[in-house]
Amino acid sequence: MRPTHVVLHYTAMATAEEAIERLCDPTAEVSAHYVICKSGSVTQLVPEGLRAWHAGAGEWDGLSDINSRSIGIELDNDGQGPFAEPLMQSLEGLLARILAAWAIPARNVIGHSDMAPGRKFDPGPFFDWARLEARGLAARPVAKISPSGEGSDAFRHVARVAGYTADASDEALLAAVRLRHRPVATGPLDPADFIALKGKTRVST
C-alpha cells in the first residue's frame, strides 16, 4: 500500500546503535524505516515504499494492518525523560519531507500507543506532541461532537470518533488518550478527559 500514515516510536534501548542492530536482526522480526539518534543522526533501514514491521497488531481510525500503510520512525529515547533537541530537530525535517513526498496529512502522524492501547506506550509521556502540532507536522486527534453522558461508554464513543478504534479495555483506552493529550494526568476518568478530546486547549493536569 502507498504510505498514508507515520507512526512514531521510542527505541527503549540504551543506545541507537543497539536499536539499529536489533532492527536489522532477522530473528527479531521487527524493523522500522528510520532511526533518529540523540545526536540528530538519521539512519534509514527500509525504503519508504516498502513495508517495515514496526507497528504490529492494532488499529487507528478504523484502519488495521498499519504496517502496510505507514512509515515507522524510531526515536532514540528510553521513555524516562525528554527527547534530545538535536533529535527533535531532525525529526521535524524528516517529517516535513515525508509528509510532502507522500501527501500525508498531519492528522495521520500518530504514536504507537494511539493505535495499540494497552500493548504499546511509545513515544510516551515525555514526547512533545505540541511542538510538532505547532509546526504543522502533527494534529491532535479530536472528536468534534458533544458526548451524551459522562461515563466510560460515552468516553469510548468520543475516543472512537477521534480515531481510537483499536480494541482496548476502558483503562487502556484512557491511558492511551492521556499519553497523547494529558500526559501527567492520573486517577479515574474525569471531565478534563472529554475536554481534551473535543479539541480544546491542551489539559496538563
Cα gap 87→37, rounded to integer Å: 6
Residue 75's DSSP bridge partners are: 10, 36
Supply the Cα-derived Rg of the chain in whole angstroms.
Answer: 16
* Distance spanning both ends of the chain, measured CA to CA: 40
Catalytic residue among 48, 74, 92, 133: 74
Edge-to-edge strand ranges of the sheet holding 109-111: 42-44, 34-36, 70-75, 5-10, 109-111
Buried b (16+ CB within 10 A) or exposed e, 9-25: bbbbbeebeebbeebee
Residue 9's DSSP bridge partners are: 74
Asked about 74 being catalytic, the answer comes back as yes
Coil, helix or strand at residue 41: coil
User: Hey, which residues are catalytic here?
Assistant: 74
